[in-house]
Copies of this chain bind each other. A is one copy, B any other.
Amino acid sequence: MRTYLDCYPCFLRQALEAARLAGADENQQHWVLREVLDELHQFALTSTPPEMGYRIHQIVRRELGARDPYQQAKVLSTQQALALYPKLKALVAEADDALETAVRLSIAGNIIDLGVTQEYDLEGTIQRVLAQPFAIDAYAAFWDRLAQAEVVLYLADNAGETVFDRILIETMNKPVIYVVKHGPILNDATRQDALAAGLSGVATIVDNGCDAPGTIIPLCSQEIRYLLAEANFIIAKGQANYESLSETAAPIFFLLQAKCPVIARSLGVPVKSIVLKDGAMK
């Protein structure tokens, strides 16, 4: 997905939030914002929003040091989600269609997105997403192609959401390669976050070789680029993976909540929609 001018105010908001989370004083925040203004001036609207997001967080790190401002929030999100794990498993066990319920739970977990908002209602979201109709519903194709898939390439999104992914992975009952970020970016899951969520028991965890939001293919490791090129069943979680991969030809199912008005408009759905999109259907 290309970048829209409506993303510009949001880029500044993100930069300010990240600088503050990193403990910057007002002078440092101002310095970061001025660097972001320069980057934005040069930024091409044909690039995807996560490419700008990546530059923003590089600036924050360069100006403020290598600390990970989201570390504590990620640990807490994972703990909060793990506390719900038995309840989530019970929901799947009692469901008429276990796979659909697990897909919905995985999408519910996508509310844990600190790039969009610092506050979210996890249990309320689970209830909502279990009941809400899909605004884009490729479940039939998902069901059908999953049955034929030998391996699932699963592009993770956020820490905590990882626990909801684990439920889906356990329900799919296929070999899964679970792709996480190489280094910290926003509250995106790294190997450490995936391990804390118990993913190592149910999937092969692979890091994508970079620390950008979403999946910016040219920045990924050779291994990931090979996996993306060869996979015939890919799950991509969350907005940033949609933003960065919506134009690729890879056989991707996008599972996400449309939390941002620009992405919702790009998908042709209302904000707060839940989406299971077959990437082959443009």
Contacts and interface: CB of A to CB of B under 8 A. Distances in A.
Interface of A: 5-6, 8-10, 12-13, 16, 26, 29-30, 33-34, 37-38, 40-41, 45
B16 A45 contact: no
- Say what secondary structure dominates the interface of chain A: helix
A261 to B, nearest CB: 12
A59 to B, nearest CB: 14
Nearest to A14: B9
A38 to B, nearest CB: 7
A41 B32 CA distance: 11
Copies assembled: 2
23 contacts: A5-B16, A5-B26, A5-B29, A5-B30, A5-B33, A6-B16, A8-B12, A8-B16, A8-B33, A9-B9, A9-B10, A9-B12, A9-B13, A9-B16, A12-B12, A26-B45, A30-B45, A34-B41, A37-B37, A37-B38, A37-B40, A37-B41, A38-B41
Contacts of A9: 9-10, 12-13, 16
A40 B29 CA distance: 14
Contacts of A6: 16
A26 B5 CA distance: 8
Nearest to A27: B45
A230 to B, nearest CB: 38
Contacts of A8: 12, 16, 33
A29 B37 CA distance: 16
A23 to B, nearest CB: 15
Contacts of A16: 5-6, 8-9
A10 B13 CA distance: 9
